[in-house]
Structure 1
Amino acid sequence: MKWIVRALGGLLVLLALVELATDRSDPPNPPIEHTFEEPIAFPFEITQRYSEIDIEKPHHMHQFVFNYVNEETAQELRYIVHKVVDEPEDMEDISSYGDQYILADGTSAFYDETESTSQGLWWINKDGFTARIIYYIDGNSVELDDETRLPVQQLINLANQTL
């Protein structure tokens, strides 16, 4: 009986050593590498720029936010690009955001002014990211009027710089 227990023990040790020595590849981890063109000509002077990257769930959604601010006038622009990477064929229907415009490369963009404190232009870029440019004043707290609202063409010009 002792020899059976020793044989089984030896077999377990041998199996454990084989398991440790087996070279298994790590689960696939695709590189998170994206290149975006940013706007360079703005409808107001930029005094502060900063970026945010949200890749909390690397295999699900990537979001990049480029912020452009004039601290004196409190005007702000955000250029946001995001992509759901594990469901690329299920693109968001951005046409519900408003009036359609055509960008320089023929891409459809949609103008959104559903809130009185911001304006936005949405489109799907050539890499399948949903892109948008949002304009607002003082942290989205000032109601836009005829004097503070940007012409839609200025938002389109900003978007064209990212193509």
Structure 2
Amino acid sequence: MKKRLLFIASTLLLGGCMQAQEDITNISIMHDFEIPTALPFEVDQKQTIIDIQHVDGIHQYITSYDNDETGQFLKYILSQHQTNETFVHDTLPHNDRYDEIFQLDNGTILYYLEGTQTQSIYWAEKDNYVATFTYMLRDTDGLGDYKLEVDELIDLVIQVHHS
């Protein structure tokens, strides 16, 4: 009796999993975004990851650029929450959580943050996306001579921003 019950339970679970898999494969998700073409350092490796853990949750598109010799590393992250209407407001830095604010000619506000090991710039993108460029050096205690000018980060934003 136990073997039969276990077989029936596993068959039902397996059938449920297969149905869930069929539902997921039939969902089409369309997003359109640009990636930068001119970077402030030579790139040896580029990788793009699409992170969608739940269809109704956060969708993230992460492109990383790496220079093995210098250790320079840049991440471009686009994040969008499918159901949270305050995601952009909640995700962008507020009050004392940024070092400087810049404004593009089209009115887009950029939030710049600088730490000892990273430089980041955030902005709201169309369709309720939050976009971020984060620059760092691998295996070091600070940016040192490789620190980017803020204008170099802003240039990256201009390359990818949808106005």
* Same structural fold, with TM-score higher than 0.5 when normalized by the shorter chain: yes
Higher Cα radius of gyration: 1
1:10 match:
none
Distance 1:49 1:142 in 2: 23
Deviation at 1:148, TM superposition (A): 1.9
Query: Residues 1-163 of structure 1 correspond to what in structure 2 (within 5 A)?
Result: 31-91=28-88, 92=90, 94-96=92-94, 97-98=97-98, 99-113=100-114, 115-138=115-138, 141-145=140-144, 147-163=145-161
Distance 1:160 1:32 in 2: 25
| RMSD between superposed Cα atoms in Å | 2.0
SS at match of 1:127: helix
Deviation at 1:101, TM superposition (A): 0.6
Q: TM-score, normalised by structure 1?
A: 0.75
Distance 1:159 1:143 in 2: 23
Number of equivalent positions: 134
SS at match of 2:127: coil
Give per-residue Cα distances to partners, 1:44-95, cap 9 Å, x unaligned. 1111111111101111110110011111111010000001111134432524
Distance 1:152 1:93 in 2: 21
Give per-residue Cα distances to partners, 1:11-38, cap 9 Å, x unaligned. xxxxxxxxxxxxxxx8xx8632111111
Distance 1:78 1:60 in 2: 21
Amino acid at match of 1:132: T
Report if the CA contact (8 A) 2:34-2:160 is conserved: yes
Give per-residue Cα distances to partners, 1:100-132, cap 9 Å, x unaligned. 11124320010011x311000000012210000
Report if the CA contact (8 A) 1:63-1:81 is conserved: yes
Structure 2: tracts of 5 or more residues without a match: 1-22
SS at match of 2:53: strand
**After TM superposition, what 4+ stretches of structure 1 lie above 3 angstroms from structure 2?**
none
Distance 1:132 1:45 in 2: 20
**Bigger shift: 86-95 or 61-70?**
86-95
Structure 1: tracts of 5 or more residues without a match: 1-25
Bigger share in helix = 2
Q: TM-score, normalised by structure 2?
A: 0.75
State percent identity of aligned pairs.
32
